[in-house]
Structure 1
Amino acid sequence: MSTTNRARLQRAATETFGWDELHAYQLEAMEHVLEGHDVLAVLPTGAGKSAIYQVPALLVDGPALVVSPLLALQHDQVEALTQAGAPPAVVVNSAQSAAERREAWDAVESGKARFVFLAPEQLAHEEVVERLRAAGVALFVIDEAHCVSSWGHDFRPDYLRMRPVLERLGHPPVVALTATAAPPVRDDVVARLGLRDVRETVTSFDRPNLRLAVVRCTDADERREAVVARAAELVGAPGFAGGGLVYTASRAETERLATELADHGLRAMAYHAGLRADRREQVHEAFREGDVEVVVATSAFGMGIDKPDIRFVLHAAVPESLDSYYQQIGRAGRDGEPGVTELFHRGEDLHLQTFLTAVRAPEDVVRAVSQALRAAAGPVRLTELTRSLHASRASCTRAVNLLEQVGAVTTAGRGRIVHDPDVGTGQAVDEAIRLSEAHQELIRSRVAMMGGYADTTGCRRQFLLGYFGEHLAQPCGNCDTCAEGTAQARPRRRGQFTLQAAVNHEEWGPGVVMAVEDDRLTVLFEEVGYRTLSVQAVEDNDLLRLVS
């Protein structure tokens, strides 16, 4: 590594942002960027991911393009840069007026703006891509990069546009950022984005200051009472300072729990996507300033939350995956002080999550969309498709996304869609449905892994880290099963299957070993998702074959 680059980076970080000492992993990633490498950085919430692009952007010749999925998060990042006194940053999105967009582009094209934030769907517009190309983008930043992977827990088809746009822009150095990406997801991100000469910066997923626990409840009323009582107990503890989060599944439940917490004397507010934007901002601000002790929220409350002293995160409903759960509990204890994370669980929740996520592909709509696009004389807009097929915009969008993933259609300029003439309708539909079913199977397997975490009698931290492909040699001593004595260290049997080994199953196909325990293996298969297998059964029946 160049000591000159390191000195330049640290000086820029200090002079612009007031950061007197960057973490070693931040400096390493920044140096790779300045040397022209693509970088994939997997860092937990609060570990300073944004700095990895913000500091190098001060030292390159041209603007940094930052693709981020949420408008609110974009505005938060722009505000943070402005407050830090960094060079100008602008946002370009569909919510702006024509005058606001014109002003933003003027700043980009004049060279005044150093950072340009936009959502991935903006990259479907030919004019946007051409203006970015003309501006000479010097750094291409992809936030929430796991969204590009169909193995990821939050796959978004809009992220598939990233690779062709990246090439149109001359493939400037890429910084792909995410807080949760197991090794197979990381490999998929690199492949789908077409990253070159990539360097990975991956820190441990372990947050030893967070205590993990699961509380079993028999019904919804008992759980609600238990959550309210526990939140009141934590807030009322001597010396409590900071805030707490309670996550639940529905908008109505956020309001109900917030009211019950207020009845117990807590300063509590509800937060969900159905609130007006100004009300959501009011909740954010009150929580940041300490005027509210507890926010009861759906998963809509999360990205961009910058409050280091959150002391507890309680879940009054099971999340759809351990990926989501890890992200949400990771908002506790970001100051390094102890944090409490508790999942209030009942078995019926998993059946509900399986039902909610088991969405079959709209085969009839996929077929109709494919046929209509093949029959069209040229590119077709989505609105034209929905009108001609008398189908909902949501179902048409899903059909187009599936067809795009299998390479049957592409998005042309101004969001128009065109079918590949070399791909037949029958072939396209069959491949799209197979892809959808495989993805749904992966989602269901994630729900099952969430259930495994709730039900384990082993160390919860070992289970959670194993899900992300990280091995913790000994029980953590800071979870409920360790406290209860059920998570005792057990001798680890030596076997041929090790962490991250590539394997093949006769029925389920290729996969990667994600966790190795004394009596079981957890494997993430490309086609069927996560599966937990008995080591004895694997060895006795030769179920897995190592792939060299």
Structure 2
Amino acid sequence: RITSKFRFSLAPCLGQWSLAPNQNFEDLLVKNRFFKLFRYTLNEYSSFCDHFPMYKENLSLADPDLDKTLKEIFGFETFRPGQKEAITTLLKTGRLLCIQPTGHGKSLLYQLPACLLDGITLVISPLLALMRDQIRHLNERFRIPAAAINTDQTEEENARAKQEALTGKIKVLFIAPEQLDHVDRFAFLLSLQIKLLVVDEAHCISTWGHDFRPSYRQIINLLSALAAQKPDIKILGLTATADERVEKDIQKQLTLSDRPVSVMRETMDRPNIRLSVLSRRGWPDKLAACRRLLQQVEGSGLIYCATRENVELVAEFLQLQNLHVAAYHAGFEPEEKQKLQNEFLADRYKALVATNALGMGIDKSNLRFVVHFDMPGSITAYYQEVGRCGRDGLPSKGFLLFDSSDRQVQEYFIHSAIPSPEQFDQVLDAVASAEAAPNLTLIKRMTGLHPTKVTIILAELVEQNFLSKTSQGGVQVYKSLFKEQKPDLSRYENQEKVKTSELENMLHYGRQKEMCRMAVLRTALGDKKASSCGHCDVCQPSSETQEDSSSIALWLQNRPYPIAPTALHKVSAGISLFDSKMRSPLFVRFMKERNEVANLEEMDPAFIQLLLQQFETLAKRHQLGALIPLPSKTWKAQSCLLNLLSKHFHLPILEGVLAWKEPPAQRQGELLNNDQRHHNVHQRMQVVSHSSIPSGALVLVDDYIGSGNTLKEAARALRQNKTIKNELVPFTIASLKWHLGKPGFS
């Protein structure tokens, strides 16, 4: 049997032939002179039908048997509440915004229609971890060919995905919104036969949304361009976090050619999740509480942190407590992220400590708990993240370790994403004054602005026709259009108000003890039927245990800070004595005295003891061969500390091996962002003497590490000499986190 659509496509070739009521179509072809012509087509069609059995029936898009498709392709007997209605609405009207809670099965709303439509379903999503999960499920479980284009993949993988999309070998293509910013990739998408465009995390296109992203505005441009080419294209917006104002804004932006966008909103209630807030002050108390929770709670879960540095510290501490956890964030190599995700899905970890690079997209229905080690920036973000647990409907728990001082990092995130009029002028001046059309990296270096702000400003200036962007040899560059007016920045004034208000609401959620936790979340998300859950820590209070954290405070002060390995120039993992974030007394004293104190007698004995203790840790990990000091004019104690380490660990000091062939124009701490810091030292260091380098690891010794660019430059100079094949291990006294957009460290 064959679909009526396919019969229709063959009709012109078959002339006046017609089928008797019970005649087999293929038999008719076999008996006539057209058999050879159509045999290849039928074989190809048969192979396609192996993937999509519903095409073997006389199924029309106008009246599809959704229940049968659900069972045959996806193996589900029934739809979840609202799913069938949403799919029917999408197929009939072509425009739908669906607002459903996390774990409600929103992905089926595009996966099933993708099987029915004869072109590509394009899914725009910021969640790279979700892409990996969805592609695995579609290809392996449901046999629906799918691929992705994103920065987590190699150039070869992205090229293969593009080719498969162009040749019609896939049904679903995932792409990150940032890909739309590049003119070449934007043009590529316009060349595809896209029949359904899905905007995942649709709140990101709204200025009023909690997670507004400038690159998402390119989606509207893509929608307009596709709709002009293909008026019948279908559009689906998905989100779990949109109040009424955000809903209306999304609806307005997705409305093209006066075709209205239907809205389907489900209740935001998650009755199986018990929410609790544990008030804790400072790192020691929060780590102690996190340890106790993981020791007591059953099942596996996620621990959210606000920054990569926090992720690694929390994971390290919990691992030392013999808890099977791992760190996960966007700074990991794609292969490592995939490995961690697969192992977590296979229940090999009690928890992953992660930024939202993982948690928003993890497809694991049996998560039993979510712990927020750091407070998120809004109630909507918190709801979305805590909602990853309990998607199987079984009892689950969400814990917020609340410290009001967490507002500082969230305020930093807000301010780093809200550019000022003066910063717009800086970018305009940089582009206009450049000798040749500059790319993003050059603009960041010329302005010294926070990288996030540069990206935002460029997107805005292109949208408002102050700049144009073109591709030169695959590299995107910008040109000034010399417009006389000033950019309209009203959206950023609105955005700052929204984000500040949402942060205050999140702080209120953590402090208040009068209203049901789930009701607070539901009300904030526009759920007008919010009622008390009956089992959160407000509805059903219980006595709270306060953990002893004194030993943790000592561990934090003496903990060596890890220096991550880098594949570039093959630098191994190293350590710093102090983490600037902890502001230990020894760290503060070292930074004050590093330009003054030059001998051991003036140093704190506790500092010397810690130095030897942590270097011993390094010596146990590596077969050390020698100490190589990085050139420094300001670290007065470099020589005496090198002599101390040399004598104590019997290592030669290779002084003069590394030197500046051209000294940096400025000190790294005086510069404004890491692009400037990279340019300040790049190609300026050289190997002066290397004839007596022994075997074993070479320890690169410096007073502190910030952006890591000086260390990378030292490694580059050493590796440029082909005879130096030793392992390179960094060792510094302190690890700093430079400000971005201004000098100094935080």
What is the TM-score with the length of structure 2 in the denominator?
0.58
8 Å CA contact retained: 2:276, 2:400: yes
8 Å CA contact retained: 2:318, 2:325: yes
8 Å CA contact retained: 2:61, 2:91: no
1:57 equivalent to 2:114? Answer yes
Letter in 1 for 2:422: D
Which residue is 2:82 aligned to?
Answer: 25
CA pair 165-353 structure 1, distance change in 2 beyond 3 A = closer
Letter in 2 for 1:370: L
8 Å CA contact retained: 2:124, 2:174: yes
Output the CA distance in 2 between the equivalents of 1:277 and 1:134: 28
Which residue is 1:477 aligned to?
Answer: 534
Which residue is 2:419 aligned to?
Answer: 361
8 Å CA contact retained: 2:360, 2:388: no
Query: Match for 2:494 among 433, 438, 454?
Result: 438
Question: Alpha-carbon deviation of 1:399?
Answer: 2.0
Alignment of 1:392-407 (within 5 A): 394-404=452-462
Q: Secondary structure at the match of 1:28?
A: helix
Q: Secondary structure at the match of 2:369?
A: strand
Q: Secondary structure at the match of 1:314?
A: strand
Which residue is 1:452 aligned to?
Answer: 508
Q: Secondary structure at the match of 2:197?
A: strand
Query: Match for 1:317 among 370, 374, 385?
Result: 374
Alignment of 1:64-143 (within 5 A): 64-93=121-150, 99-143=156-200
Alignment of 1:242-261 (within 5 A): 242-261=299-318
CA pair 340-416 structure 1, distance change in 2 beyond 3 A = same
Output the CA distance in 1 between the equivalents of 2:312 and 2:151: 30
8 Å CA contact retained: 1:312, 1:332: yes
8 Å CA contact retained: 2:380, 2:521: no
8 Å CA contact retained: 2:522, 2:530: no
1:211 equivalent to 2:260? Answer no
Output the CA distance in 1 between the equivalents of 2:305 and 2:174: 31
Query: Match for 2:291 among 228, 233, 241?
Result: 228
Letter in 1 for 2:500: R
**Larger gyration radius, structure 1 or structure 2:** 2
CA pair 472-84 structure 1, distance change in 2 beyond 3 A = same
1:176 equivalent to 2:237? Answer yes
Which residue is 1:165 aligned to?
Answer: 222
Identity of aligned residues (%): 32
Which residue is 2:341 aligned to?
Answer: 284
CA pair 323-404 structure 1, distance change in 2 beyond 3 A = farther
Question: Alpha-carbon deviation of 1:279?
Answer: 3.0
Superposed CA deviations along residues 52-87 of structure 1, whole A, max 9, x for unmatched, are: 111111111211112122444323322211012433
Output the CA distance in 1 between the equivalents of 2:159 and 2:255: 32
Tell me the number of residue pairs that the alignment of Structure 1 and Structure 2 aligns: 473
Output the CA distance in 1 between the equivalents of 2:183 and 2:331: 32
CA pair 483-472 structure 1, distance change in 2 beyond 3 A = farther
CA pair 49-269 structure 1, distance change in 2 beyond 3 A = same
Q: RMSD of the TM alignment (CA)?
A: 3.1
8 Å CA contact retained: 2:128, 2:357: no
Structure 2 unaligned segments of length 5 or more: list them.
1-58, 543-746
8 Å CA contact retained: 2:183, 2:469: no
8 Å CA contact retained: 2:129, 2:357: no
Output the CA distance in 2 between the equivalents of 1:285 and 1:95: 15
Output the CA distance in 1 between the equivalents of 2:61 and 2:153: 41
8 Å CA contact retained: 1:162, 1:193: no
Output the CA distance in 2 between the equivalents of 1:419 and 1:258: 47
CA pair 282-114 structure 1, distance change in 2 beyond 3 A = closer
- Higher RCO structure, 1 or 2 (CA under 8 Å, sep 6+): 1
1:13 equivalent to 2:70? Answer yes
Q: Secondary structure at the match of 2:540?
A: helix
Output the CA distance in 1 between the equivalents of 2:434 and 2:541: 66
Output the CA distance in 1 between the equivalents of 2:66 and 2:281: 55
8 Å CA contact retained: 2:130, 2:363: no
Superposed CA deviations along residues 320-372 of structure 1, whole A, max 9, x for unmatched, are: 11122111110111111111112121222234433443335253331133356
Superposed CA deviations along residues 346-403 of structure 1, whole A, max 9, x for unmatched, are: 2222344334433352533311333566789998754565576676755432322343
CA pair 207-94 structure 1, distance change in 2 beyond 3 A = closer
8 Å CA contact retained: 2:127, 2:361: no
